[in-house]
Structure 1
Amino acid sequence: MRMLKLYEKHYDALKHHLFPGDGLESIAFVLCGNTFSGNRKVFTSHKVKCIPHEKCNLRAEDRIDWDVSLIQDLIEEAEVKGLSLFKIHSHPGGYNDFSEVDNISDNSFFPTLNAEIDQGIEHGSIVMTPDGMLVGRIVIGSTDYQRIDVFQVVGNVIHIQSDNGVCVDLREEYLRNSQAFGRGTQSLLQKMKVAVIGCSGTGSPTIEQLYRLGVGELVIVDFDTIERKNLNRILHSKVELIGTNKAYAIKEALDSTGLPTKITIHTVDITESELVISDLSTCDLVFGCTDSVLSRDLLTAISSFYLIPYIDMGVKLSADGQGGIKSIYGVINYISPGDSLLERGQYTQEDLRAEGLFKDDPDEYKGQLDKGYISNVNVESPAVISVNVNISSFAVLDMLERIHPYRDDGPERVKRVFVSLSDLDITINSKFDSDKYLMDNRGRGNVYPLLYMPNLSRCEEAT
């Protein structure tokens, strides 16, 4: 399956440029990163260049001509960085396929492009119609074309468009879901690949909900094993499974249910496995259900490099030590490409340094901890299943809002939800600063070293 992901602002800029209102074709180009895993090949928009209308050689209702010199800078950047180049032009009349004129144009342009960029990199051609719908093809070699199966526009809302537009068969198990969100949304869920990082307090109920909502493919990541202390909150855990990997135990339980969701598990630390990151890179959405600040920081980078929405959640229950409760609250952050949990104050650089030292040099960590130079990262907090399930439900409902908006105010104004269960109060935040580094690498796709992080190393894993 071939997929093109467009960052929301890139898509908006393209649509604005391609349809100036004069009824004539317009053209733009998009530099794209790329990644692949399993049967998925994903291209991600990194940079857009709109060709000024007045610089085109010809603009007509059914054709457009331009000088290749106008995109020489993009060609050079694509060659240096290993990026794909997508040509995208408009069909003002609404014809939603490639015309014979388009075929002639592509058969002339792409052999020339491949002669300049001799790296075996795939490029593409896209048509946009006035309603914003897309049809596209990948160029294999010089003139061998393969259709793009899925288009996504990623931002505050996740728009998913399949090339065939056909809804999958609705199973009886999902009838009640479709009665609430519609057959189209149910069909989208059954085509989505969603990852959950962490299978404990908030992770296991998140996995359970996604499975029963009918998500097509789940990727579950957790290196830890079930302990007796986990039995109060991890769904499907039981005494005889103590010592069993959490992800493995949940997969076994859900597979026995008989629903069609494909479940892939990774039983290693996400910060130590290129294979896991490769699998996550082709996901449609990622849930972070982990306390590890290193993992959360890595997921933020993955979100930007691969244009993957990331929903992070956390729970805090403060007890007074005498059987009373000071506060109970949860936080759900929606991270779109370029957003940062660090910028939102969810953790600090000192937290990252402390956890990194704890993992890499435990003796040095203990020495600095004893001297008060570093914070304690190995502190357990109270955990209650009722609280975890509540916050998990908020997070999953936020995902549904992004693919099928149902809230009165829409998804644009909801970047973070703070849920105080002790005060029965919900606070919504809508404006946060983005991270410049992440913005610059938005849609960059695969790079070397992976995510520009030299410390990421290969790790043998059992799945």
Structure 2
Amino acid sequence: MTSADLSFQEKHLRLLEAELIRPDGAEHAAYVIFGVTRIHRDPFTTGPRIRVSVKDILPVELDEIISSDHQHISWRTDRFVSLLAQAEREGFQVGIAHSHPQGPKHFSPQDDRNEAELSRLAQNRNGEKAIMPSLLFCGDGTVLGRIWTTPNEAIPLATIRTVSSNWRFIHRKEISEDDEPAFARQSLALGAAFNRTVRELRIGVVGAGGTGSPLIQQLGRMGAGCLAIFDPDIVETSNLNRLYGATYEDAAVGRKKVEVAKREIERMGLGTQVVTFESWIGAEECRDALRSLDLIFGCTDDHEGRGLLNRLAYYYLIPVIDVGLALRVSERHGETLLEADGRVTVLEPGASCLICRRVVNPAIAAEEALKRTDPPEYHRRKAEAYVRGERNPAPAVVSFTTSVATMAVEEMIQRLQQFRGTTGNVANRVRKFTHLEDFRPGASPERCRVCANFRIHGAGDVEPFLGRVG
């Protein structure tokens, strides 16, 4: 059975609330432009899933309304037809939102009839793949939704959530109100609602190495309900100083890092469902899983992988918390010094991306892609000094990798629970361990084709994937 959910940017939610719930108490309506994600196999349910993301909102104007009061609204649909033509050209879907300011808190039989007819109109115009999402805003703050896949079938939205700034669940599937004893102390600090939210979240961790390993451990201990772990590498002896749960035996047999991570989470017995992927995240077999997630932690150190997650955050409205750690040993005045810098960057619409923050270098990412897809050509260019050679092994200390992982988890907690207050979000933080200071570096003011290109925010599926050529 197909499931469905929806993501808003917080600004779009506020705009719809202001447009649909007005002081006059009458019903109002708007057209909503959606990006669509069609997931063939959800990694946790194994079934298909449709995710829609709000791209734009176009209020139904007064001259389009035929009649409206506190119990009904009727309007001409000429603009709906013209929007369908634009949708076919540009690859989006058109839906509607309307209000019940004084109830009922459900779609009415008249809503059913009107929306089924709009769905029929959409499919007659744009073909059987056209869908017609519908949202209902009620006077008490309730928000409901469904997706008409045919004029005879509408899939209810199991979850409606916001991203950008604070992450909220406006509507969610029914989950137990009981607080599990294992998380009772966490509930005392962050509240039972936080525990329920974390239990419902679908969280991805890309990279199960130095920073990914302690991060995965913390997510499991916090009660994460669904966890997807991506890493193609095996455990090596040099990893054992920082991979939680990894043993000499794991290194001796070349066990996959994702296998160790899954084993350690399941040993906790706290109910986390874990799925693992032993491929580079750009591989086609990872796409459904990545697009199914609500939040991703990026713990990879390659520019190509970071560049892919960078785009994913904006195209699919899936926040990415990117983690980085740099340890450098230098000689000064005959003294050996260690410099340790940890970075946590949150990627989502409204925040600058990793390219603008000069974390991802597109030229290096292209070289990494060449090495992965065409090793002979890479080595030929390396011999001719057209590409950079491999770096020396980087220093690694478990206390620093764990500290940076903790910084990333703290940013997740802030956006779900606002423990620092409603203005306490930090989009980019660098901790100078040596100097006992945190900094908030800015970003390039130049317009970017990713974070400043509003046309791609919430676009969902496009060809080629994430608009990446090659």
Q: Shared fold (TM-score greater than 0.5)? A: yes
Q: Deviations over 1:13-51 (max 9, x none)?
A: 222222343222211122222232424431112232222
Map residues 169-208 of structure 1 onto 2, 5 A cutoff.
169-208=178-217
Residues 393, 42 of structure 1: CA spacing in aligned structure 2 closer, same or farther, 3 A cutoff? Answer: same
Structure 2 CA distance for aligned equivalents of residues 431 and 369 of structure 1: 31
Partner of 2:61: 52
Amino acid across the alignment from 2:434? S
Is the 2:20–2:28 contact (alpha carbons within 8 Å) kept by the matching residues of 1? yes
Partner of 1:427: 439
Is the 1:231–1:237 contact (alpha carbons within 8 Å) kept by the matching residues of 2? yes
Partner of 2:367: 354
Is the 2:28–2:68 contact (alpha carbons within 8 Å) kept by the matching residues of 1? yes
Partner of 1:461: none
1:76 equivalent to 2:79? Answer no
Shift of 1:233: 0.4
Partner of 2:404: 391
Structure 1 CA distance for aligned equivalents of residues 411 and 224 of structure 2: 15
Amino acid across the alignment from 1:10? H
2:261 pairs with 243, 250, 260, which one? 250
Partner of 1:226: 235
Q: What TM-score, normalized to structure 2?
A: 0.90
Partner of 1:133: 142
Shift of 1:453: 2.9
Partner of 2:344: 332
Structure 1: state its 5+ residue gaps: 456-463
More deviation, 105-114/65-74: 105-114
Is the 1:294–1:355 contact (alpha carbons within 8 Å) kept by the matching residues of 2? yes
Partner of 1:237: 246
Q: Deviations over 1:145-192 (max 9, x none)?
A: 332111011111111133455544322111111111111111111111
Q: Deviations over 1:366-416 (max 9, x none)?
A: 45445554434533211100001001001011011111111146245x210
Partner of 2:295: 285
Amino acid across the alignment from 1:159? R
**1:332 match: secondary structure:** strand
Structure 1 CA distance for aligned equivalents of residues 61 and 346 of structure 2: 35
Residues 23, 47 of structure 1: CA spacing in aligned structure 2 closer, same or farther, 3 A cutoff? Answer: same
Amino acid across the alignment from 2:65? C
Residues 54, 130 of structure 1: CA spacing in aligned structure 2 closer, same or farther, 3 A cutoff? Answer: farther
2:24 pairs with 22, 34, 49, which one? 22
Partner of 1:152: 161
Amino acid across the alignment from 1:290? T
Residues 160, 373 of structure 1: CA spacing in aligned structure 2 closer, same or farther, 3 A cutoff? Answer: same
Structure 2: state its 5+ residue gaps: none
1:113 equivalent to 2:116? Answer no
1:318 equivalent to 2:302? Answer no
**2:111 match: secondary structure:** helix
Structure 1 CA distance for aligned equivalents of residues 421 and 160 of structure 2: 26
Structure 2 CA distance for aligned equivalents of residues 119 and 444 of structure 1: 20
Is the 1:57–1:66 contact (alpha carbons within 8 Å) kept by the matching residues of 2? yes
1:442 equivalent to 2:445? Answer no
**1:127 match: secondary structure:** strand
Amino acid across the alignment from 1:105? N
Q: CA RMSD in A?
A: 2.3
How high is the sequence identity, in percent, across the aligned residues?
A: 26
Map residues 35-50 of structure 1 onto 2, 5 A cutoff.
35-36=38-39, 37-38=41-42, 39=47, 40-50=49-59
Amino acid across the alignment from 1:64? I
Shift of 1:342: 0.5
Residues 268, 256 of structure 1: CA spacing in aligned structure 2 closer, same or farther, 3 A cutoff? Answer: same
Is the 2:118–2:132 contact (alpha carbons within 8 Å) kept by the matching residues of 1? no
Is the 1:311–1:335 contact (alpha carbons within 8 Å) kept by the matching residues of 2? yes
**2:434 match: secondary structure:** coil
